Structure 1
Amino acid sequence: MQKNSTKHKQTQSQGRAKWVRLDHASKLFPATANYQDTKVFRITAELNDAVDPEILQQALDAVLPRFPSFNVVLRRGVFWYYFEQTDQRCIVQPETEDLYEPLYIRGEKRLAFRVLYYGSRINAEIFHAVCDGAVAVAFVRALLGQYLLLSHPEVITAEDIQPLIQRTPAGEKMDDSFRRHFKHTDKLKSKQSKKKEKKKRVRAWNYKGTKLARNRANLIEGTMPIRTILDAAKNHRATLTVYMAAVYARALWEVRRGDKPRPIILAVPVNLRPLFPSRTERNFFQVMNIELPEPTPEEAPDLDWWIRQVADVFKDSLKPEELAASSTELLKLESNFLLRILPTGLKDLGLRIAHRINDHQHTTSISNVGRLDLPEKLAAYVRSCYVSTTSRDISLFAISCAGSLSVSFTSVYRESELQYRFFTALQSQGVPVEITSNRNIITAESSNENIESAIVPPAEGVNPTASSICPLCGCAIRGYKARCPLDNEPLQFPADARCDQARDVFPAAEQKTNRTLLIKLFAFISIAAMVISFILDFTLELPLNLPLMTLLGIVSTWTSVGAVVV
């Protein structure tokens, strides 16, 4: 009997899906994600040739077992969120929708990442609770190597892609490095016990502009030769990250002129793996806020002054003990018993409020993800790589690959003055910039009024390589654009720009109506209206005219909703 019960328990445990606790950094993302800010980030590899979706699917199937942290679905429990391991297969899909579509929707069991293709681009979109940018770069590097191996077997061998595969034990891949390094460390606690002067939190200057509908992403990518911008940074005796941050800070100061002189504060994510040895494939980063001093009118135009200020602040902030102390304090707060027993809904509410408050404590975020290293034999097939993420305001991200550096701006505003000032500043330093964007895309017009007004070309094909020089900003604008994404200047575009097969770098995705959310909203309003009408009718002893009129109003409203949804 004992043996049978043991076998039954083993069979029962094997049938259960294994669940994984969210790490410290991941807990913010499911609580604050919504349809406007989906907490999805995107790594893109653009090839010289068109993407073959069948080979891409084979490459994805071969690579995914090496990344166990990706084979999960996010679930919402009574007291916390957790990951549940799944055997769902990720299917490669053509990109037809808007950027950064939601990956986590409460109540739905869906993978927390997707792989898309469009033209020559391979796009991996990942929910930020799964991993950070360093792991996403490693995933795309492995996927890219496997894809090139399968698509060019006569040139590339299995030995060529071995450097792209990280050899890490499975236990370390799923390790929660925050708890390993920061939770039970006497040395850190002793450092924390020393009294330090706490800096008074100040409200940062925030960029203002006209927001796009549904906070739709305005993505502008600038690509430049890595050697040229490294030489420009070297001429100013600065590292690449400090140089870009200084150019960005000066552009922010120029945009801020005439507004309230609040401080410019940059939020900079820091990869903690070089400082605290870890091979985890989950989140392991810390965000540091860098407050820049206020320049005088004479100092502000001087780029060297900005470089000195940024370098000094970086040096003071990038101290392991400072980053460790901050993480330890947050883990201590997270371990509070009273907070742990609160239901998930109350925790979500508190995190959303804290997230809103934190938005006013930094101006913008800037992140240099680093290099996506490829062997020389593989780099010959890659044009460039890009990284970007959803933003509640405006953010800058950079990555280098295949001899080029790509800087991506994600913004929820129509205006592009900040991007214009940043890229034209690089142009004035002798750095040529090529611009791609999901704005101002020319599409073929349909002659039939019964179908869509624009014809979107199929996802299979090669992205355009030709570019037009904008007469105002001087940047090369790649793709089929009616106007420059930076200054809205009309551009000369080729005669075939409106043909059915004309393909931009991005698909001309139409903004979708969120049908599920719309139906739920009107269902709630309808039920509430009927309940209120019956309460008023019973309390005031009115005839049944009020509920009947309310019912007629609900029917007419649902008729209007049906016209929109259907």
Structure 2
Amino acid sequence: MISFGAARGEHSLRWYPLDTTAIIFPPALSARFTTVFRISARLKEPVDLPVLERVTAELYRRAPYFCVRLRQGFFWYYLEECPPSGVLRDDGFPCMDLPRRGGARPLLVIRARGNRVALEVSHVLTDGRGALLFLRTLLEMYAALGRGDSPGEVADILRPGEPESWETRYASRLFYRPGQPLPPSYAPAWHVPGPLLGQGRYHVTTGRYPLEPLRERARAMGVSMTDLFLALFIYALQLCYRQEPQPRRHRRPLRILVPVDMRPGTGLQTMRNFFVYAMVELDQRLGIYQLDEIARNVHHQLRAQLDPRSLRKQVARNVAARRNWFNRSIPVFLKDLILRGVYRFQGEAVNTASFSNLGEVSLSREGGDRVLDLDFIAPPSAVTGPNMTLVSFRGTVSVSFGSLRRDPRVEKIFFQTLASLGIQGDLVTNWSAPAEEIRR
């Protein structure tokens, strides 16, 4: 039998401050901006719910800093431990469960239905890399408990025992250097027009493709797979942009926000948020770009911005704002007004969409043999329209779009363009229209 520690006695209500990336999110929370993203695993067999319930309870005890709710203090929001929620039924639309301040449910929950296990978590708590490590640990424990054994040998999962110091580390503060210049500010970007879905609805389309043909196509173009998918996304947005009548004052650039995980470049590990952004831009006033031109453009823009010295600018801005004595002295209700305005005009307004790649995920042979594939879905946004995510597992790439727009034209153009390159895959969607209609 595996165990990650004895059950707690009386609830201790330990609390944790928000990391420097997360402080912008609570004031901006709304029914259409939940900050919740999702990573899910499709298993080869139906979920054994009693086993999953037991594993989830064990893992909540092992990582109590994830079994927390959002609370509002006088000067800052903070995280407070709360009772675990158990495994929730995976019904309704993904990522639409708004984290409520002081609510009884943790900011990280596990859902299950049929043969799918899904982790949903607010960006207030962690980023994609932290959430993925939690889910990988859960899948390894689930497979091990089904065998009556211990988790298989695989790197980078949570080990039995008490939480280690790095898990709750606020890594941005360690990477911060005083006196660094601030990052540039951006003008508003173009956004996909069109009416929104009804409140509480979130449309998701996922394509699953073999990895090797995509790698070969990227190599032939002299770029990485991230560059290729980002170029395909921008190409689809460009065609949508060209379909719209654009008054001169609205000829804004296409700009994609790309989260960058800071762990590999710094050697620092944490289960908290530890990422910054790169911005990839295409100015349509310069004319129409072909796919290969966009791919080369994306490649060079990303490489220029991924220099650690450039990334340090964003860390400097976030940490300095948190340390500023004047900011610290402002009551939270005034901070809400200020940060809500900052996020409105310097957050989603300055990017057309977001693109996030979790990379290739590994599990042990025993844990991975139970999993068919993984999916990754971005938080909803009423401003940016469709956002794109990518994750790879055992030779299969899952590319997902999450959108609050009624019209899936960006998704249609993207998958049609991919098919025109000779890349064939399977599409699934929760749109009322079948996946084949999106493919055509």
Q: TM-score, normalised by structure 1?
A: 0.70
Rg larger for: 1
What aligned pairs does 1:79-94 form with structure 2 within 5 A after superposition?
79-86=75-82, 88-94=83-89
Moved more, 400-409 or 65-74: 65-74
What aligned pairs does 1:137-536 form with structure 2 within 5 A after superposition?
137-153=132-148, 157-158=149-150, 160-163=152-155, 165-166=157-158, 170-182=164-176, 185=177, 189=179, 191-192=180-181, 201-214=186-199, 216-257=201-242, 258-260=244-246, 261-294=251-284, 300=289, 302-358=290-346, 359-392=348-381, 393-440=385-432, 483-484=434-435, 486-487=437-438
Partner residue of 1:518? none
Deviation (angstroms), 1:305: 0.8
SS of residue paired to 2:435: coil
C-alpha change, 1:57 and 1:346, in structure 2 (3 Å) is same
Instruction: Judge conservation of contact 2:386–2:410 (CA < 8 Å) in 1.
Output: no
C-alpha change, 1:485 and 1:140, in structure 2 (3 Å) is farther
Deviation (angstroms), 1:488: 9.0
C-alpha change, 1:70 and 1:486, in structure 2 (3 Å) is farther
Deviation (angstroms), 1:69: 2.2
2 CA distance for matches of 1:50 and 1:159?
20
What aligned pairs does 1:31-110 form with structure 2 within 5 A after superposition?
31-86=27-82, 88-110=83-105
Partner residue of 1:470? none
1 CA distance for matches of 2:142 and 2:285?
50
1 CA distance for matches of 2:436 and 2:21?
34
Q: Between the two structures, name the one with larger relative contact order (CA 8 Å, sep ≥ 6).
A: 2
1:286-319 deviations in whole A, cap 9, x for unaligned? 122222244865x62x321111100110111111
Deviation (angstroms), 1:90: 3.0
C-alpha change, 1:169 and 1:122, in structure 2 (3 Å) is closer
Instruction: Judge conservation of contact 1:48–1:382 (CA < 8 Å) in 2.
Output: yes
2 CA distance for matches of 1:375 and 1:431?
29
In structure 2, runs of 5+ residues without a counterpart are 1-9
1 CA distance for matches of 2:397 and 2:146?
25
Deviation (angstroms), 1:421: 0.9
2 CA distance for matches of 1:251 and 1:390?
20
1 CA distance for matches of 2:151 and 2:103?
40
Deviation (angstroms), 1:102: 2.7
SS of residue paired to 2:84: coil
2 CA distance for matches of 1:388 and 1:177?
25
C-alpha change, 1:226 and 1:72, in structure 2 (3 Å) is same
2 CA distance for matches of 1:236 and 1:15?
56
The amino acid that maps onto 2:38 is: R
Deviation (angstroms), 1:89: 2.5
Deviation (angstroms), 1:211: 0.7
1 CA distance for matches of 2:268 and 2:134?
17
1 CA distance for matches of 2:350 and 2:146?
48
2 CA distance for matches of 1:380 and 1:227?
20
1:169-201 deviations in whole A, cap 9, x for unaligned? 62211111111221xx35xx2x53xxx9x8563
Q: Percent identity?
A: 27
Instruction: Judge conservation of contact 2:95–2:380 (CA < 8 Å) in 1.
Output: no
Instruction: Judge conservation of contact 2:36–2:379 (CA < 8 Å) in 1.
Output: yes
Moved more, 424-433 or 162-171: 162-171
1 CA distance for matches of 2:158 and 2:103?
32
The amino acid that maps onto 2:105 is: R
Instruction: Judge conservation of contact 2:188–2:349 (CA < 8 Å) in 1.
Output: yes
2 CA distance for matches of 1:312 and 1:54?
50
The amino acid that maps onto 1:429 is: L
1 CA distance for matches of 2:306 and 2:110?
34
Moved more, 240-249 or 374-383: 374-383
Partner residue of 2:18? 22
1 CA distance for matches of 2:212 and 2:219?
10
Instruction: Judge conservation of contact 2:412–2:439 (CA < 8 Å) in 1.
Output: no
1:494-537 deviations in whole A, cap 9, x for unaligned? xxxxxxxxxxxxxxxxxxxxxxxxxxxxxxxxxxxxxxxxxxxx
C-alpha change, 1:374 and 1:34, in structure 2 (3 Å) is same
In structure 1, runs of 5+ residues without a counterpart are 1-13, 441-481, 490-566
Q: How many pairs does the alignment contain?
A: 420
Partner residue of 2:113? 118
Deviation (angstroms), 1:230: 1.4
Partner residue of 2:5? none
Q: Given the alignment, which residue of 122, 127, 131 partners 2:126?
A: 131
Instruction: Judge conservation of contact 2:38–2:118 (CA < 8 Å) in 1.
Output: yes
Instruction: Judge conservation of contact 1:164–1:374 (CA < 8 Å) in 2.
Output: no
1 CA distance for matches of 2:255 and 2:202?
22
2 CA distance for matches of 1:109 and 1:178?
29
1 CA distance for matches of 2:153 and 2:54?
16
Deviation (angstroms), 1:105: 1.3
Instruction: Judge conservation of contact 1:24–1:331 (CA < 8 Å) in 2.
Output: yes
The amino acid that maps onto 2:270 is: T
